[in-house]
Structure 1
């Protein structure tokens, strides 16, 4: 028996003596089968599992991670390497913060390139447990270790890193994540390609990177009809969802460019997807979802082209949907149109005051947070046009705060320019808040 193995068992046996436990008593307290515990402690045909070590540590009142530095010989020796045991060990080390043990194991096993699969497996387990920070470290090790640029494992590691990096609203960080992952999107396993392209499109949409959104939208249409004609391919959602999102993004880009008739064409296309085959129950649900979005966006196009008569009908429709996401998108369109054509929409804003008060709940979602930011900017312009200057300054400061948090530099500049235009009307408190937001210090 090797010294380290003896040391691990010596520590356990020493604590048994200190507490006066025999094998049967320790087995009962730890929940470990007495025979298994006996064989593990004696090193006879059975190694100790990391869960058993945790259970023993709990009995002895030790903190999680107790004796982990002595456990590696249960997984690695000159004769063998236990992959399942190593994966479980690395996951537990990450969970309890034993980074020293991780470093020691990684330096040993990466002498052989095939062992990088162990690191990847540990990363995947942590990712699906929601331990993103811990998983990120392992994915970065994989990215550094894999030399084959067409490796699916390398592509998947980049995809996971992209998913982790883009969970917040930091625009600068999100754009860097897009640039890093983009070259690997078509090297993923086929089951993951559609959702990966969708996530790229979604992030770029939140960043207003319209050329990139247009490219990914085209890929969504193509992939959803070609790749998913193969029965063995199973993306996260029904293929019709990705096809519809490709059209929806194209409609949004056309709207952004002022091409309202083209946008309407795309809207009508994604609002009528019953022809898509095959359609099971989940596919039918997606078709209905796009019908709902299509109706809302037809209202949007009417409002954006100056149809004031339809505003109250549009508001009724938004209220019937009773979804905060739809309300913020709809109000943005209504108030932007009011600013462009000189409409008064105070009644609509009053009607949705309860929903508006909840827009801060979007913090964390890049698209919805951006919609909240745009609402505050449009609302500031609207207030100034209605000669409600204090209200306009208040909304400008709200928008500025959101833009700074999200590192949206262009929006930050617009807010600063707008505030400066009305600066002479600002109260002392507003000036303090403005200086704090801009330079990080009070007047």
Structure 2
């Protein structure tokens, strides 16, 4: 028996004596089978599991991670690694913050490059538990140590790191896209559908329309191939969802490029996806969602072409949906159209005043945080166009703050330009706020 193993067991035996417990009592308190516990403590044909050690720690009133530094030789010998014990051990070390135990074990694992396959499931288990920060270091170890660029494990690690990186920081989001992009087509098909959709969404928030279009085309091609093969349940959603999203995204890109009539063709295509078979209950639900989105997006395109007669009808529709994200998107479009075609939408804004006041506290996700910023910018322009300069300055400063928080440098520059153009209307307090925000941002650069 190794000295370190004796030390682990001697520590446990000392605690049993200290608490006055015999083997049967400890077995009852921990829920461990008495025979298994006896063999684990005696080191006879059965090593101790990390779950057993955790159960013992609870019985003895010890903190999580107790004796972890003595557990490594249950997992690693000179001859081989014990995957069944090593993987849950590393997961628990990460969960309880025993980083001092992780580093020496990782060093031993990577003495042989092939052993990196032990690290990947640790990362996956942590990711599935929502321990994203803890999983990052293990995915990065896979990325740094796998040399086969076509490895599925490497592609999955890049994908997970891409997902973990997503937030409201535009610079970090774009960096994550660049790093993951070369590996997107090396993922298993069931992950590739979601990966392409997420890439398109991230690039949408960054207003990189050519990249959005590329990912939408790839998503359309892949979903069409899977449909021909009659594989409809290959990912998180029914296949019709991914096919429909590829059309919706293409329509949005054309809208952003000002090609409204071409965009309408895509909207009409995803307005009725009932032909996409087999659908089943989940597929039919997705088809109904696209009908709703198509109706909203046709309103969007009509308003953007300058049809002010439909504004109130569009507002009624948004009100009927009673969904804050749809209201944000719709009002942003109405504001954009009003600025372009000189509409007056004061009554619409007043009607949605309560919803607008909730935007700041409600939206902190990738897509809607960007939409909220665009809303503030369009609203600032609208207020200036209507001669309400004080309100316009307020909205500009609001947008400036949001752009700074999200590292959206182009939008930040747009806010600066907008403020400078109307600086003469700003109060001393507003000028001080502006200067403070701009100076701090330059210092950050």
Equivalent residues in 2 for 1:413-424, closer than 5 Å: 413-424=413-424
Contact 1:254 1:262 in 2 (8 A): yes
- Aligned residue in 2 for 1:14: 14
**Matched length:** 440
Alpha-carbon shift at residue 311 of structure 1 (Å): 0.5
Alpha-carbon shift at residue 364 of structure 1 (Å): 3.0
Equivalent residues in 2 for 1:39-188, closer than 5 Å: 39-166=39-166, 168-188=167-187
Contact 2:363 2:372 in 1 (8 A): no
Alpha-carbon shift at residue 153 of structure 1 (Å): 0.5
In 2, Cα distance between equivalents of 1:292 and 1:374: 23
Q: Secondary structure at the match of 2:407?
A: coil
Q: Secondary structure at the match of 2:226?
A: helix
Contact 1:198 1:216 in 2 (8 A): yes
Alpha-carbon shift at residue 264 of structure 1 (Å): 0.8
Contact 1:247 1:266 in 2 (8 A): yes
Q: Secondary structure at the match of 1:253?
A: helix
Out of 320-329 and 57-66, give the one that drifted further.
57-66
Out of 38-47 and 121-130, give the one that drifted further.
38-47
In 1, Cα distance between equivalents of 2:363 and 2:291: 28
Q: Secondary structure at the match of 1:358?
A: helix
| Structure 1 unaligned residues grouped into runs of 5+ | none
In 1, Cα distance between equivalents of 2:250 and 2:98: 48
In 2, Cα distance between equivalents of 1:440 and 1:213: 32
If the length of structure 2 is used for normalisation, what is the TM-score?
A: 0.96
1:41-75 Cα offsets, whole Å, 9 max, x none, are 11112211111111211222221111101101111
1:142-173 Cα offsets, whole Å, 9 max, x none, are 1111111001000001000001011x111100
Alpha-carbon shift at residue 18 of structure 1 (Å): 2.1
Q: CA RMSD in A?
A: 1.4
Q: Secondary structure at the match of 1:337?
A: helix
Alpha-carbon shift at residue 112 of structure 1 (Å): 2.6
In 2, Cα distance between equivalents of 1:14 and 1:143: 43
In 2, Cα distance between equivalents of 1:419 and 1:137: 43
Contact 1:228 1:234 in 2 (8 A): no
- Aligned residue in 1 for 2:220: 221
If the length of structure 1 is used for normalisation, what is the TM-score?
A: 0.96
Pair 1:241 & 2:257 matched: no
Alpha-carbon shift at residue 231 of structure 1 (Å): 4.7
| Structure 2 unaligned residues grouped into runs of 5+ | none
In 2, Cα distance between equivalents of 1:425 and 1:231: 63
In 1, Cα distance between equivalents of 2:52 and 2:227: 45
In 2, Cα distance between equivalents of 1:156 and 1:289: 30
